[in-house]
Amino acid sequence: MTSYRKLLKRLSAMDAAELRFRTVACARREAGRIAFRACRPAWAREALASALQADDRRVARAVRYLADHNWTEAHECLSDYFGSRAPRFVLDLRRREAISREISAVFPAAAGQAAQRADRILQERFDLLGYRDLRFSIDGRDAIDWHLDPVHGKRAPVVHWSRVPYLSPSCGDHKIIWELNRHQHWLVLGRAFWLSQDQKYRDGFVRQLDSWMAANPPATGINWASMLELALRSLSWIWGLHFFVQPAGSTGSCRDALPWTVDLLLGLDHQLTHVERNLSRYFSPNTHLTGEGLALYVAGRVLPELRRAPSWEASGRAVLLEQFSKQVNADGGHAELSTHYHRYTLDFYLLALAIARATGDRLAEPTFAEAANRLAVFARSMADRSGRLPRIGDEDAGALFPICGRDAADVTDSLELAARLLARPDLAIGPAAEEPMWMTGQSFSAAETPVNWPSVALPASGYFVSRSPRGDHLVVDAGQHGFLNGGHAHADALSLTLTVADQPFLIDPGTGCYTVLPATRDRFRSTRFHNTLMLNGCSQSVPDGPFGWQTMATGAAHRWQSNQAFDYFEGSHDGYSPTFHRRAILARLGLWFIVDAVQGEAPQHADVHWHLDPSWEPTLVDRWRLRADHRDGRRVWMLSCGGAMEVFRGRDGGQDLGWCAPAYGPLVPTTTVRLRRRAQAPFVLVTIVIDAREPPTVEALPVEVDGNAQVAVAFRVRTTAGNDVALFAFDQENRIPKGATPALHKGAGLETDARLVVRHERPDGTLTAISLVDGAVVRDLETSQELTLSRPISDLHVRFTSGAGFAALSSQSLPDIRFTAATRAWSSSARLAGQRVGL
């Protein structure tokens, strides 16, 4: 009954276009299943004759040879044609030797590295996803089993593609099977072939193509079940054609034993036609659909020799143009809110742009350039100084063009390609990368001094990024719960990641798996596996199957202020309504205050989890302090105010916390720190992260809540470099009503109307600076020092100089400022943000 109701609900939500599409698709699948039962499909090389557009004499000759079943001569004609025609792909075959020489000159180790990786592939040893040295064979056989999951020892059934239960654990992990069958390792063989000129890499490619065709007849098995997988495989085959085709008489060419160009073009024609007829318009209208559109567009533009190319091109272009407006947010973020799938989408549009330029598609090029630019700016904003994206949402360790085996989180190659295609050198990070040279055939000179990207708000996607010039990098998530059904989202509202001086410190533990281990899937996308607060042992969002959710929390940002001295974020989410979790973060160079407020009335059991990167060795000094030492010698402290600390290590045999998945698949032991408090709401937990050698201390200070504020907290942090006295006050309405007088809050010896004030002191207590957010008054009740502004300001940092003066920084124009001490009064009328003022 429940499934019947779900079906009725789904049908009622469909419009006429979707109903027509699904009806036609269903009828086509049913007809295919009937035909499959009657006669198993097989490849027919002679069918390529009718699939080719014989405009060139060599192609016309190939068509005649195909009609006569002379596969060898047909292959020779096609090889000569594709090996010498004008370039239409990113690889220019006419410049093969020049490109290879230039890459070897710029990257002297490239040839050796390429050969090492390619030799392992010839030995049929594969590094896929997070797994290493996989062998896809049974009982020691030499041939690759293209339907096998060797990790779990399962094999998908060889049935009609629509009957393959690929989401069932009975098939093993479909991601592992599909990753091999994307044939992206052919790019690795192609790189080694071009750089070494060793024919063994070309021969290995031909053998694998022949093996795959024999094991995967049309419409048969798991490798025909996902249109995205066919699309990505088709792109790899197009790469293979351009890497390995050799015109007659070229250096090192020889007569092939197998007519592989015939088979490759025949396979492309079948697969792309299958994709076009079964586009994921309503099944997975996300990166699945754009990836399918990309393959159709690329094949249609690159291979006009195939009769169906104009249809593929039109369908693919329409998908890419349409989905840009649907899937790319105003700030450039991908709608699925997964950094990994954002990187995929960036690469999709970069390749589309490169092909549009190579083939002169003026209709699509401007929009593809706009999409690539918006996606690249977002990726540059989210990446840390070394070019690594934080792990947010699902991540499967895949890539669109893994030529050199770069880590999937390393986006430097994509950003450099964007810098080249868009003429924006500011997008590039670090030294030149090899991959863009394969994509463009040109070397690239990035700016001598990389651009220091600023802290930035990305409100359409819900991310807020704080960074410093020395390599500190914090990202907090305060957005929607994914896209459509949230298939690649996690229960991570208000979660954050933190890199300290280029070293990842607080991480998202990753994805683990998708379908093969349901408990692991749910564990790694639960709230306790993210750097955020969990109430009463429950996730903010509740899963429903591997790619769905029963409930979805929505995050909201209330404050984002950024100036040259500090960044401030404040947000909340509704996942525990009527109780609300509210988080405030103050980020300063080497110092982070994270304040978690539980706003409500009932007794609550709150846990705040912090997941450390495995490169840190933590030591719990006491219940309130943890020391973390990095293998490079850096030391970071974590302090707690309001909740006692516990440490969980996966290496000690823990089965729950203390684990991460740096890439899809294998789990790696790490450390999870938990802050726990049981109390009557409202209450607050504070976490402080300090980059310091010597041990700091923290103490809670009394605070009085008044007026519009519902909850407040005050504390003092002492270090050998100085002290910070902080007062945070959370209001109930997220704003002060118009016309109302701001309430004054007392705590830590301060009185203020600000939602945040921090008094910075030398170790002897001498005032050095004041930071505030949303306020106009700060009074020190012990020293009678007072800072007053002529009007409230969103953010302000006042640094007191050694003489009679001070410097003020803000993201806004400054109001009149007055500072009164026991012996003197300083004032200024400052109007420009960041202007130095004083008497």
**Cα separation, 791 vs 126, whole angstroms:** 64
Question: Residue holding tokens 């630019």?
Answer: 373
**Cα separation, 641 vs 645, whole angstroms:** 10
What mean pLDDT is predicted for residues 149-170? 94
| Residue-wise pLDDT tens digits, 230-250 | 999 999 999 999 999 988 766
Residue 833: name the closest of 796, 801, 799, 780 by CA: 796
Residue 709 binned pLDDT confidence (cut-offs 50, 70, 90): low
| Residue-wise pLDDT tens digits, 410-423 | 999 999 999 999 99
**Cα separation, 487 vs 549, whole angstroms:** 8
Per the CB < 8 A criterion, the answer to whether 343 and 379 are in contact is: yes
**Cα separation, 777 vs 792, whole angstroms:** 8
Q: Residue 311 corresponds to which amino acid?
A: S
**Cα separation, 642 vs 677, whole angstroms:** 7
Neighbours of 718 (CB within 10 A): 16
Structure confidence at residue 220 (pLDDT): 97
**Cα separation, 776 vs 736, whole angstroms:** 13
Structure confidence at residue 827 (pLDDT): 61
Q: In 3-state terms, what secondary structure has residue 693?
A: coil
Structure confidence at residue 835 (pLDDT): 39
Report helix, strand and coil shares of the chain as percent, to nearest 5. 35, 25, 40
Top-ranked range on mean pLDDT: pick from 49-58, 160-169, 371-380, 823-832: 371-380
Residue 528: name the closest of 590, 565, 460, 575 by CA: 575
Question: Residue holding tokens 């310091």?
Answer: 692
480 pLDDT above the threshold of 70: yes
C-alpha angle with apex 532: 527 to 533, nearest 5 degrees? 80
Q: In 3-state terms, what secondary structure has residue 583?
A: strand
Q: Residue 8 corresponds to which amino acid?
A: L
**Cα separation, 356 vs 368, whole angstroms:** 8
Per the CB < 8 A criterion, the answer to whether 801 and 770 are in contact is: no
Sign of CA dihedral 53, 58, 60, 62: negative
Per the CB < 8 A criterion, the answer to whether 99 and 85 are in contact is: no
Judge residue 397's burial from the number of C-beta atoms within 10 Å of its C-beta, 0-12 exposed, 13-18 middle, 19 or more buried.
buried
Q: Which pair of tokens denotes residue 444?
A: 């690239």
Query: What share of the chain has pLDDT > 70, as a percent?
Result: 91
* DSSP annotation of 389: P
Q: In 3-state terms, what secondary structure has residue 221?
A: coil
- CA distances to 98, 316, 770 from 753, in Å: 68, 57, 14
**Cα separation, 725 vs 750, whole angstroms:** 9
Q: Do you find a cis peptide bond into 669, omega within 30 degrees of 0?
A: no
Per the CB < 8 A criterion, the answer to whether 515 and 454 are in contact is: no
Residue 839: name the closest of 800, 784, 785 by CA: 800
Structure confidence at residue 446 (pLDDT): 53
| Residue-wise pLDDT tens digits, 619-655 | 999 999 999 999 999 999 999 998 899 999 998 877 7
451 pLDDT above the threshold of 80: no
Q: In 3-state terms, what secondary structure has residue 65?
A: helix
Name the least confident of 1-15, 387-401, 669-683, 698-712.
Answer: 1-15
Q: In 3-state terms, what secondary structure has residue 762?
A: coil
**Do the bridges between strand 567-573 and strand 473-477 make them parallel or antiparallel, or are there none, so unpaired?**
unpaired
Structure confidence at residue 826 (pLDDT): 59
Structure confidence at residue 7 (pLDDT): 54
Q: In 3-state terms, what secondary structure has residue 555?
A: strand
- CA distances to 289, 392, 521 from 268, in Å: 18, 34, 34
**Cα separation, 421 vs 517, whole angstroms:** 41
| Residue-wise pLDDT tens digits, 122-147 | 999 999 999 999 999 866 566 899 99
**Cα separation, 265 vs 43, whole angstroms:** 12
438 pLDDT above the threshold of 50: yes
Structure confidence at residue 370 (pLDDT): 98
**Cα separation, 549 vs 755, whole angstroms:** 35
Query: What share of the chain has pLDDT > 90, as a percent?
Result: 76
| Residue-wise pLDDT tens digits, 598-612 | 998 888 999 999 999
Q: What is the H or E stretch that residue 657 is in?
A: none
Which string of b and e fits 803-830 if b means at least 16 CB within 10 Å?
eeebbbbbbeebbebebeeeeeebebeb
Q: Dmax of the chain from CA atoms?
A: 104
Average model confidence (pLDDT) for the chain?
90
pTM of the shown model: 0.94
* DSSP annotation of 304: T
**Cα separation, 683 vs 664, whole angstroms:** 38
**Cα separation, 90 vs 800, whole angstroms:** 57
Residue 735 binned pLDDT confidence (cut-offs 50, 70, 90): very low
| Residue-wise pLDDT tens digits, 178-237 | 999 999 999 999 999 999 999 999 999 999 999 999 999 999 999 999 999 999 999 999
Sign of CA dihedral 820, 826, 831, 833: negative
Task: Please state the length of the chain.
Answer: 839
- CA distances to 61, 291, 303, 360, 812 from 308, in Å: 20, 19, 9, 19, 58
Q: What is the H or E stretch that residue 564 is in?
A: none
**Cα separation, 425 vs 445, whole angstroms:** 8
**Cα separation, 185 vs 128, whole angstroms:** 9
Which string of b and e fits 348-384 if b means at least 16 CB within 10 Å?
bbbbbbbbbbbbebeebbebbbebbbbbbbbbbbbbb
Q: At what angle are helices 96-106 and 185-196 packed, to 10 degrees? A: 90
388 pLDDT above the threshold of 60: yes
Residues near 377 by beta carbon (within 8 Å), at least 6 away in sequence? 332, 427
**Cα separation, 780 vs 151, whole angstroms:** 64
Question: Residue holding tokens 């050698």?
Answer: 693
13 pLDDT above the threshold of 80: no
